[in-house]
Structure 1
């Protein structure tokens, strides 16, 4: 399957490097927010953990119980395994190729830690976590969680099999992703073999989120760098991606909210008063509790 047409290709506005910011022994790079880009409305935050190899009898990931309100988190387990638990009684262990999609909404406490088997045996680990803002009308929606294993996510073959898109949310090529986004977000991961050339449709009014995990690619004819967030102009209705070497990318798009945003740690709201209320609600135990 191929999506090559005569449509205009978006051009690169700027490349934003992921800054190294390790969390203890966990290798971490963060392109958003960064010194050159605060947010890419409605996309707020991306952490790239790893790749690295944990030895046997390790302490695992450091993300014990903590609160969120006002946005969604999407966690991509590129390699390794990840255990999730939250105060809404959702629990899962997601393996390589899987995804966790959590709507924090009105507020919950969650933890993302390594399963006991991973801590005992060790292994390779690489994880991405993306935060997506919610509009004011949905800030206080009921929290929700979906855990997807690799086989739960449909794959769209592109460019005669030289590219493979794992479709998490949205529709493409006759397939529909298993996540029904509250705000019509399209979200996927891409694996391209050297020589792949694809053009993915995106309406001009939508914000594109494109992060190069690794490999060597060009976007709209411009060579781009691994570990960079690629900010695109709104000058076309397709994103042209060509792979010089094998590559992996995070690719999504969504409508900008164009609303005021105030963030404080794990809370993202529209006003300072709402942030203060979130802090008070959490301290009063209104998010529920979680013990792991």
Structure 2
């Protein structure tokens, strides 16, 4: 099916920069119609042209949905200074801003808006859904709680020590030193293995982001070191037992890796107050296979289409 992609910038009133988005329109699109819509949220260090757009956005649009995939503030083609900041609070607000844009479109039914997120985008989508009742259903694809990940392996299991170092670096930058930008991944799979790295998530992330398989100009896989404290005190699942009442679909593979999507998926499924929640565990599937590999993504997409069809 032929899907039309419209590139557009949008923002909320009072916002100092634009967010860059791709609006996916179904093949039978009629501007006088009324369509269900889905916000598609990219992973940590990713961009709208990667899995959130070209895989899930494309497929959901082919199934009849208007889909908005966008670059996070401070990343990709979106505005926001400083650059390469991964701030969970800002990422969640970006989702609300995307919903703000959708409700202004005359062909979007504002009572049928959902959100889908991949990896860190899954955690952000769940958090946004708890506090934005305009979102009627949420799907997390191999979702990760970036706050938990930041406190654990991303800080070397020493969050206090890491924040002390980050604080000193931020002070140095405030005094005029150059911003420290960290590459979050090895340069290649071979380099990773040569350095003794054997975690499946790190190796597969490197294969996705550092090769033509998934590499895109906006997918920096880099972060401003001094700004990473923003994630340390954040929790994607905070208050889920009380506030997450909308329908929830969690899709994970059963091959666990260091980024923790398997454990996070099990946790949020158990904790969510949603009376209508589903957990799909795909056997023999890893985190990054759910980014773009045909068979796992086809299973995830089929389930997401069924789920959103029921609730939107």
What's the TM-score, normalizing by structure 2?
0.28
**Greater relative contact order structure (CA < 8 Å, 6+ sep):** 1
Structure number having the greater strand percentage: 1
Per residue, is there more helix in 1 or in 2? 2
